[in-house]
Amino acid sequence: MNDHEIPKPVDSVQLQDFAGELVVYDLARTRVVYLSDTAALVWRLCDGRRTVKEIIELLTSTYPQNASHVPDEVRATVKALEEQQALSALSPDR
């Protein structure tokens, strides 16, 4: 994964919102993923348009008090969700 990647939810997922936290259910793989408040925030920004770098910049400017942690948290969350096949990555020159 690199910061120029554009993460996007896979087509087969269904979401359940719990006022912050999320449960992502992959209908195709019948797999369920729990997202904490932080992970859910990253997920919501993975819309198939923003790069990882843009997500980091957006969250850093929104939460300047956590700026030092944001890059690693975003990268780790995107990586984990890709490994669980809940997110897929688009190349920036798509």
Partner 1 sequence: MSQPSSSARAAQVIRFGDSRVDIACIGSLARRMVEVLFGDRWREEVVASAAPHYVLTSDSTGLTLTQGPITHCARADTGAAAELLMTCVLHDLADHNAAGLILHAAAVSWQGVGVLFPGVSGVGKSTLSAWLTSAGFDYLSDEMVLVPTGTRTLEGFNRALHLKRPLARAIQPRIEPYLCASSRDHDYFDDERGTLVPPQALRAGMPFSTPELRLVLFPEYRAGSAFTCEKLSAAQASAQLMGCLINARNLDGHGLPEAARLSKQVAAYRIRYSEPGTVQHAIVGMA
Q: Pairing state of beta strands 87-90 and 31-35?
A: unpaired
Collapsed DSSP state (helix, strand, coil) of residue 21: strand
Q: Which of 1, 3, 8, 21 binds partner 1 (CB under 8 A)?
A: 21
Site string for partner 1, 35-54 (x = CB under 8 A): x-------------------
Q: How far is the C-alpha of 30 from the C-alpha of 32, rounded, in Å?
A: 7
Q: Which of 1, 32, 45, 58 binds partner 1 (CB under 8 A)?
A: 32
Q: How far is the C-alpha of 72 from the C-alpha of 22, rounded, in Å?
A: 20
Which residues would be at the binding site for partner 1 (CB under 8 A)? 14, 16, 18, 21-23, 25, 27, 30, 32-35
